[in-house]
Structure 1
Amino acid sequence: MGDLVKQILATPIQLTDQVIKAADDAATFKQECAELKSKTEKLAGLLRQAARASNDLYERPTRRIIDDTEQVLEKALALVLKCRGHGLMKRVFTIIPTAAFRKMSAQLENSIGDVSWLLRVSASADDRDDEYLGLPPIAANEPILCLIWEQIAILYTGSVDDRSDAAASLVSLARDNDRYGKLIIEEGGVGPLLKLVKEGKLEGQENAARAIGLLGKTRKA
């Protein structure tokens, strides 16, 4: 898993370096490029932190968040490269709306929020310290997906008691809505639930077994 995540992270990390260099070379819109550079540097630090923690990252949100981040960085690079302008004529005729920089800055900020959330949700129970994880920008339109990611992440990294609570939360979700059950299956919830059945305390085992039973019905539906 760790090597796979490092491969996923390699391209966006490389893109951050390219955006930073291109921003340094900007001949026009220097202030705007400097702002994008600052946000990109912050994002680069988080991505490198994610690479160091690759063995602990929960794969499903990692793939989605990093894919989205890579697309944002590609757009940022394309925008900043327009500001390099070699020669007077190119500078005169390179017209970039100010709104493009504002939009790009907001997208980079969202990526920073997403990767920060990914690092927090994938942290061990001791490191997480019961902090409220909040909602990552990527899940703003689908908050239930974020909740499912959180509970499955706890099943992977939480204490025995936390894993029991997470299984109970998944039971509630799967019972309330078949679609939520399908999401739990798609996002990799079955594996850690099966593990909890074998390793957890009695309450955790019962919660996990109940969740698996509900998910089994969802799969057949």
Structure 2
Amino acid sequence: MADVVKQILAKSIQLADQITKAVDEAASFKQECSEIISKTEKLAGLLRRAERASSELYVRPTRRIIDETEQILDKALSLVLKCRANGIMKRVITIIPAAAFHKTSSQLENSIGDVSWLLRVSASTDGRDDEYLGLPPIASIDPILHLIWEQIAILYSGSLDNRSEATASLVSLARDNDRNGKLIIEEGGVAPLLKLVKEGTVEGQENAARAIGHLGLDPESVENMIQARVCTVFAKIFKEGPMKVQAVIAWAVSEFASQMPRFACPA
């Protein structure tokens, strides 16, 4: 997992270093470039923090946020490279609208916010001091997706109590509409939910089993959970789990069977 995250981050870190070098060589638009370099250096620092914490980062939002960051850094590099032209004539020929610098600066600021959020959301909940994470700038595209990311991140790194609360939030989101349920599956929510079914408190196990039941939206969704070994986990709970949890799992199995009549978990 850590190696995958480092590969995702590598290009963005390289681009940030190239921007720093290009700005040092800038012969024109120096004032405009100074703001670009200031924000690029701040972003580079966050990217290197992410690289050091690669084993802790939740891969799905990491990939989405860093892909966006990479595109922004690539555009910023193209912009500052134009500033290396020397001489008055080349400055005249190389026309760069002020709006281009303003837009790039704003995009870099958004990336700083996105990567900062990624570091916070991936950190252990014990180290957050119950801070409100808020939504990153990239969330303006799809706020619900980022709420789901936050809850799944807690499932990976939170205490048992926090994981139970996050699962209850996912249950609520899954109940709202089918798209939310599909997003929870697509964004890697099934594996940590099953882990909580196995090792959580009774309340956490109930919440996790309930969430999994709500994710049985259609045959494809049920098949995804079969591939995630849901039957193995459910069978173990049927044999030795608390009765309250067994009852929720029995309901979840009935939900799966309603979508896939041949579905059956050994009891």
The one-letter code matched in structure 2 to 1:35 is E
Match of 2:61 in 1: 61
Listed as ranges, the gaps of 5+ residues in structure 1 are none
Whole-Å Cα distance in 2 between the matches of residues 23 and 205 of structure 1? 54
Match of 1:202 in 2: 202
Q: CA deviation at 1:192?
A: 0.3
Alignment of 1:120-131 (within 5 A): 120-131=120-131
Count residues with an aligned counterpart.
221
Question: What is the CA deviation profile of residues 4-50 of structure 1, one whole-angstrom value per residue up to 9, with x for unaligned ones?
Answer: 10111111001000001111111111011010000000000000000
Listed as ranges, the gaps of 5+ residues in structure 2 are 223-258, 260-267
Match of 2:263 in 1: none
SS at match of 1:216: coil
Whole-Å Cα distance in 2 between the matches of residues 55 and 124 of structure 1? 12
Alignment of 1:1-80 (within 5 A): 1-80=1-80
Identical positions, percent: 77
Asked if residue 138 in structure 1 is aligned to residue 141 in structure 2, the reply is no
Whole-Å Cα distance in 1 between the matches of residues 55 and 165 of structure 2? 24
Question: What is the CA deviation profile of residues 109-164 of structure 1, one whole-angstrom value per residue up to 9, with x for unaligned ones?
Answer: 00000000000000001111210101101111311111100000000000000000
The one-letter code matched in structure 2 to 1:177 is N
* Contact persistence 1:154–1:163 (CA under 8 A): yes
The farther-off stretch of 84-93 and 204-213 is 84-93
The farther-off stretch of 83-92 and 107-116 is 83-92
Runs of 4+ in structure 1 displaced over 6 angstroms?
none
Q: What TM-score do the two structures reach when normalised by structure 1?
A: 0.98
Q: CA RMSD in A?
A: 1.0
Match of 1:149 in 2: 149
* Contact persistence 2:181–2:217 (CA under 8 A): no
Asked if residue 95 in structure 1 is aligned to residue 95 in structure 2, the reply is yes
Match of 1:82 in 2: 82
Q: CA deviation at 1:176?
A: 1.2
- Greater relative contact order (Cα < 8 A, sep 6+): 1
Q: What TM-score do the two structures reach when normalised by structure 2?
A: 0.81
Whole-Å Cα distance in 1 between the matches of residues 145 and 125 of structure 2? 21
* Contact persistence 2:50–2:119 (CA under 8 A): yes
